[in-house]
Amino acid sequence: THMAGQEEKPIIYTMENKPIVTCAGDQALFTSLYTSLAQQLPREPMEWRRTYGRAPKMILLEANFVQFKEELLPKEGNKALLTFPFLHIYWTDCCDTEMYKSSVKEDMMRWQNSLRTHGSSDWVIIVVETNDTKKKNKTNILPRSSIVDKIRSDFCNKQSDRCVVLSDPLKDSSRSQESWNSLLLKLRTLLLMSFTKNLGRFEDEMRTLREKRTQPGWSFCEYFMVQEELAFVFEMLQQFEDALVQYDELDALFTQYVLNFGAGDTANWLGSFCAPVRNWSGLLLRRPIDMEKRDSIQRGEASLLDLRSYLFSRQCTLLIFLQRPWEVTQRALELLHNCVQELRLLEVQVLEGALDCWVFLSCLEVLHRIEGCCDPAQLAANCSHTVGLWAAAHTGTVHHGVPEPSGLDFTLHFNSLQSPYKKLKEALSSVEAFERHYLELSHAAMEMYQAIGRLRSARLVGKSLAEFYMRKGDPERAETFLQEALKSYVSEGWSLPVTHTRRQVAECQKLLSKTEDYLQTSALLAGDVNLTTDERKHFCQEILSFTGKSGDQSHKVTLSMGVFAQLTQLKFHPAAASVHSGAVLQVELTLRCLMPVSVRIQQLVASIHFEVDHGGTHGRSKGAQRRTHPGTVVFRQSNSSAGPPSSAGAGPSLELDEIQDRSPSDNSLNSTGVICKNTHLLMRRHDSNSPPDTPNCISPPTVGIKEGAQMLKVQDVTLEPGNNSITFTAPPGTYTLRQLCATVGEVQFILPHIYPSAQYEVYSQEPQLTVEPLSEPLLAGLPQKVKFTLLTGHYTVKKGDALQLSNTETMPILPSTSCTARISSPTSELVGESTLSIQSSEKVTSISLPPAPPYHTLEFQLEVLCIIPSGADRPANERLTNGEVRHRPRSYSHPDTPMTAIDQRMSIDCPWSIYSTLLALTFYIPFKTKHSLLSAGNRKYIQVCVQNVSDVNFALAEVKLTEKQHASLELQSLNTKTQQLLCCKHSVFCLWEVRWKDDLPSCLQCVFSANFSPLSQDISAYKPFHYQFQLERVTTLYSVKAEIFPPAGEQRCRSGVLCGLEVCITRLTEPAEGEIAEDSKTETDGPKTTKLMYEVADSSSNWAVCGKSSGMVLMPMTANATHKVQIEVMPLFAGHLPFPKIKVLKYLPHTAAVAIQPDPDSCVENDSLSLLDKTLDDQGDTASIRSRGSVHSVGSGDQQQKGVAMPRLEPFSPGQVFNHSHACQVLVLPATDDHIMEVNAT
């Protein structure tokens, strides 16, 4: 059949194309072998090495064996490749030399000659050798090799491989198989060689042709045919990839020409493609080769669409062979866009609608083709491309224009009844059918988009669908799609699409008579800045004209406030948002009206909610208004209609609190963290698609204003565009603002929640009396002004009302001639002034108050004097007028000031209460006073030091010291000045000498007094100041005298040389009474003596004491009794050295009872010191011994008192021992003179 077929039609453009191999010679022989040959040839792949660096390929070779004819050989210039015979075979089974010589050789020669004339060198001679042939011609048998050799020598000049032997081809032997294999290998090799050679030559020629493309007369169509020939051959060889490359190259070349044309570079041949489009029959993908279009290209008559269609159909075919169908859809989409573009570029005349038909048909054709060859899974995976096609098909339909499809002049060639054509034909046949198809396509596209998650694209298709429905007069369906789209634009904040879509929604809603929705949408549009003012006014008018309708009163339309006006700020006056019931609290709202024109509002109502819980905590503002600006709540706007829904701009802000988890046992920190208190508000935003505070465009708020709630109201307000200020006056109580409602005729705009919450409080207040210093600090001892402030609260001060102050001795109220009270209103305006009448009795000071209205402030000042406690004496507890025990104001040291503080309490009886009001004032003592006793032998001096610790400068006058008990005692002042300046932080020292006649009393009760006044004031302002103190054991008992003697034979002491220290202790007085009593216990009989302990201590390490540094002395208790002690000391340095310190202490033997001095302040510590743990170098200081006793606490003191009697040392009071050599110095010479002092002078 193959052989027969050849003669009728040499070129068959089907997939059955195979490389042509001609067969000459013994046809019968070939026919017998043909089947095996055709089967076995493609059995094994061969490696095809390519030129131009192309990668080698494994290739299966098939061949179409045809009988050799001279006509088959290509003539000069014939570019056909498909019909090109790649190999010529001569078959012979001749084994007879004679026969070879007589006929076969000649035939071969002829064959060779015709090959040579046509320049074909791809040939082979096959000599078939069978046992049968050998047997048949036994007589003339020659060795087989000789025939082959002959042929080789005759024809195969240097190519011995051009003659092949096939042995016993029909036998099933290994030899036969081997011979077959080598033959097949040879044939394959030769075929490939031929391919490489001939295709290479072809490609070279093709390239040359392409290079000529700039020359005039070059034709793309011509070139197209040439390159396509190459593509065909590759396709024939099943090298689809290479074939596709040829078409892609053609595609790119053509595209480039069109682009160049667009850029003004015209090629002549392009003219044919610029012809008006007359045929738009769409792509044809079912047939591998659309011969009709190919012919038209070959004739140069193809239109642009023809060329593109043909090219694409070829590419599609190859892509399907390559099993990449999704690439078809992708390329198809590009092609469709590209073609439309190219037609535009080439300025091709296209009949209206023709292009859309072409696009539509092509889309359907591609989809159809792809669905046919793809499995569903593959289709789903690549449907993003497919969906584009659906969408393109859809848009193509849209472009048709719905109303009049029949208006097109259709000259479609519906010669084939394939489905896209059927569909289009049907669609165009009637409006109904068209619509049906359109809807079908749209829905398909939408579903596909949704399936692959391209929701935005799906919504856009939905929107155009909605536009279709609108034109069809079906607003109900349209609205669904529009709302869907609108929702997505709103949620992603695309304001322009929002406005556009919303306008379409408004149109729907108007048609559907969805009054509320329409009004809501209108309100949004009226406030939409993307629209022109006229458009906005139109929508605003829509609302206003509705409100103007005198409709049914019960039917009120409720809309969200947010579409109409935004509450931007809420302000309380006063800012605390908390006033008492007599004052006015105003709530000022700032409403930003979004309407383009001013709108008159019949009523604006803010509903308020009574807060039960917060009844008691008045005076404190709560909620959001406290945070940054007191009294002001700023409402953040969620930009509903326009603008970005940025995370910062919308929704409530985070309210964070720190939490700490502490261990219950030791309060150590286990963990710490931050919690969000308003998660319920924040989380809601993320969970649901529509934010709660976005004025929802889809459904109007169902929340109405709460019935029966308390309201703040204003009537008849006109809201201008932009910010408006509206003020409410708040009724008494604690309320939270909850909702806002504006009524315009039949329309109510409601803000269902005011967030952040704003709370105010109008409360009732009890009268309050406070006393505070006019200036800080209050100084004791001087008249000080204090301010009384009375907040009347709900109480009305009547005529005759008076404050009763219980008098105290320590803080008298000073009478003053002109004391005026100021009455001021809650807003601090002065209302009145009147003089106060103050009456003082012994116990009570009564202050008559002037009449004052409630919630006013009454202020007056009084002068008080806090008497400085003089120190020693302590008055008995007094009782106040109200029977309360008065505590003596105790002074204490205050941490903030060096001054001693005194809290002075006041008890005031007020007319509005049966209870006394207790108030305290803190005074500070400006002075610190110290005293000391100084001795010189028997003579005694008293020194008083007054230190000014306040910040005020004082003048001190009439400094006086008196002794209370002993009249004979004379205190002679050694102070020269009568008046002295006492600046702040400075001290004044005063000195008196004590003179006495008989005996010096052992105990002195002294009172220091002085007058002082602040420096700026005159003499009359002087106030007394007293300081009491007591001095005990004043008399000097012993005098201690030390002398240092140089070593014998020396004039002076020398450092490092021992010298003598003589301490002489002399009893100065007869024993005093107390002393005898003490000592009589120890020494019951014998001469009265007392034991003293002396100690030589040198704290500055000037001296080394050799031997005993301390010792006991038994002193007779008579006047002038003297005891001398010799001690050896060694000076350690040269120079004027101070004497070592000599201390004398009372030695109390273990039997002596502990002398407990009754301390006036009941401090139980005693002054006794243990021998063991006390260093004794600072007892001589001028401070009173007692103060030491109250400060220190000897560690073992308690044990001692509990009975373990130990010998103890007790220091003398200052003044009891007088040290003559207290500050004496002695000159000590250096040890030797020959010490070298090194002096470097530089």
Partner 1 sequence: MNTNMAVCIAVIAKENYPLYIRSVPTQNELKFHYTVHTSLDVVEEKISAVGKALGDQRELYLGLLYPTEDYKVYGYVTNSKVKFVIVVDSSNTSLRDNEIRSMFRKLHNSFTDVMCNPFHNPGDTIQSKAFDGIVSGMMVQTA
What is the contact surface with partner 1 in residues (CB under 8 A)?
A: 259, 262-263, 333-334, 336-337, 340-341, 344-345, 384, 388, 395, 449, 452-457, 460, 489, 492-497, 500, 643-649
Task: CB nearer to partner 1: give 330 or 1166.
Answer: 330
Contacts with 260 (C-beta within 8 Å, 6 or more apart), sequence order:
266, 267
Instruction: Supply the minimum distance, in Å, between the C-beta of residue 633 and partner 1.
Output: 22
Contacts with 939 (C-beta within 8 Å, 6 or more apart), sequence order:
993, 994
Any idea how long the chain is? 1242
Instruction: Supply the minimum distance, in Å, between the C-beta of residue 489 and partner 1.
Output: 7
Task: CB nearer to partner 1: give 492 or 809.
Answer: 492
Task: CB nearer to partner 1: give 96 or 467.
Answer: 467
Tokens representing 451 are 């399936």
3-state DSSP call for residue 120? coil
Q: 């600072």: which residue's tokens?
A: 1178
Instruction: Supply the minimum distance, in Å, between the C-beta of residue 394 and partner 1.
Output: 13
Instruction: Supply the minimum distance, in Å, between the C-beta of residue 219 and partner 1.
Output: 24
Task: CB nearer to partner 1: give 340 or 949.
Answer: 340
Task: CB nearer to partner 1: give 388 or 889.
Answer: 388
Q: Are 1091 and 1151 in contact (CB under 8 A)?
A: no
Instruction: Supply the minimum distance, in Å, between the C-beta of residue 463 and partner 1.
Output: 8
Tokens representing 461 are 């298709």
Instruction: Supply the minimum distance, in Å, between the C-beta of residue 385 and partner 1.
Output: 10
Task: CB nearer to partner 1: give 444 or 949.
Answer: 444
Tokens representing 541 are 């008018």
Instruction: Supply the minimum distance, in Å, between the C-beta of residue 522 and partner 1.
Output: 20
SS3 annotation, 1115-1136: EECCCCCEEEEEEEEEECCCEE
Rounded distance between C-alpha atoms, residue 21 and residue 38, angstroms? 11
Instruction: Supply the minimum distance, in Å, between the C-beta of residue 336 and partner 1.
Output: 8
Task: CB nearer to partner 1: give 194 or 696.
Answer: 696
Dump the DSSP string for 951-1002.
SS-EEEEEEEEEESS-TT-EEEE----SEEEE-TT-EEEEEEEEE-SS---S
Tokens representing 615 are 């009844």
Task: CB nearer to partner 1: give 496 or 1015.
Answer: 496
Q: Are strands 578-580 and 758-763 parallel, antiparallel or unpaired?
A: parallel
Rounded distance between C-alpha atoms, residue 1241 and residue 746, angstroms? 113
Task: CB nearer to partner 1: give 187 or 335.
Answer: 335
3-state DSSP call for residue 849? coil
Task: CB nearer to partner 1: give 388 or 781.
Answer: 388
The CA angle 1025-1029-1032, to the nearest 5 degrees, is 165
Instruction: Supply the minimum distance, in Å, between the C-beta of residue 683 and partner 1.
Output: 18
Instruction: Supply the minimum distance, in Å, between the C-beta of residue 493 and partner 1.
Output: 3
Q: Considering only CA atoms, which of 803, 929, 785, 954 is closest in space to residue 865? A: 785
Q: Are strands 1038-1045 and 1217-1219 parallel, antiparallel or unpaired?
A: parallel
Rounded distance between C-alpha atoms, residue 467 and residue 474, angstroms? 10
Task: CB nearer to partner 1: give 14 or 688.
Answer: 688
Task: CB nearer to partner 1: give 356 or 1167.
Answer: 356
SS3 annotation, 421-468: HHHHHHHHHCHHHHHHHHHHHHHHHHHHHHHCCCHHHHHHHHHHHHHH
Task: CB nearer to partner 1: give 481 or 489.
Answer: 489
Q: Are 993 and 972 in contact (CB under 8 A)?
A: yes
Rounded distance between C-alpha atoms, residue 1004 and residue 992, angstroms? 13
Q: What is the CA radius of gyration of the chain?
A: 64
3-state DSSP call for residue 842? coil
Instruction: Supply the minimum distance, in Å, between the C-beta of residue 532 and partner 1.
Output: 14
Instruction: Supply the minimum distance, in Å, between the C-beta of residue 341 and partner 1.
Output: 5
Task: CB nearer to partner 1: give 636 or 894.
Answer: 636
Instruction: Supply the minimum distance, in Å, between the C-beta of residue 191 and partner 1.
Output: 43
Q: Considering only CA atoms, which of 357, 182, 198, 344 is closest in space to residue 279? A: 357
Task: CB nearer to partner 1: give 96 or 248.
Answer: 248
Instruction: Supply the minimum distance, in Å, between the C-beta of residue 530 and partner 1.
Output: 9
Task: CB nearer to partner 1: give 525 or 982.
Answer: 525
Please confirm whether the linkage preceding 756 is cis (ω < 30° from 0). yes
Rounded distance between C-alpha atoms, residue 288 and residue 296, angstroms? 16
Tokens representing 105 are 């050789």
Rounded distance between C-alpha atoms, residue 213 and residue 253, angstroms? 10
Instruction: Supply the minimum distance, in Å, between the C-beta of residue 252 and partner 1.
Output: 13
Rounded distance between C-alpha atoms, residue 926 and residue 928, angstroms? 7
Instruction: Supply the minimum distance, in Å, between the C-beta of residue 308 and partner 1.
Output: 15
Which residues are registered as beta bridge partners of 444?
A: none
Contacts with 1189 (C-beta within 8 Å, 6 or more apart), sequence order:
1157, 1159, 1163, 1165, 1166, 1167
Contacts with 1037 (C-beta within 8 Å, 6 or more apart), sequence order:
1067, 1068, 1069, 1072, 1075, 1212, 1216, 1217
Task: CB nearer to partner 1: give 458 or 585.
Answer: 458
Q: 């003559």: which residue's tokens?
A: 1220
CA distances, 484 to each of 455, 461, 531, 689 (Å): 10, 11, 22, 12
Q: Considering only CA atoms, which of 605, 544, 606 is closest in space to residue 744? A: 544
Task: CB nearer to partner 1: give 485 or 589.
Answer: 485
Instruction: Supply the minimum distance, in Å, between the C-beta of residue 565 and partner 1.
Output: 24
Rounded distance between C-alpha atoms, residue 582 and residue 794, angstroms? 8
The CA angle 833-836-842, to the nearest 5 degrees, is 165
Q: 């000042």: which residue's tokens?
A: 861
Beta-carbon-side half-sphere exposure of residue 541 (alpha carbons within 13 Å): 6
Instruction: Supply the minimum distance, in Å, between the C-beta of residue 697 and partner 1.
Output: 16
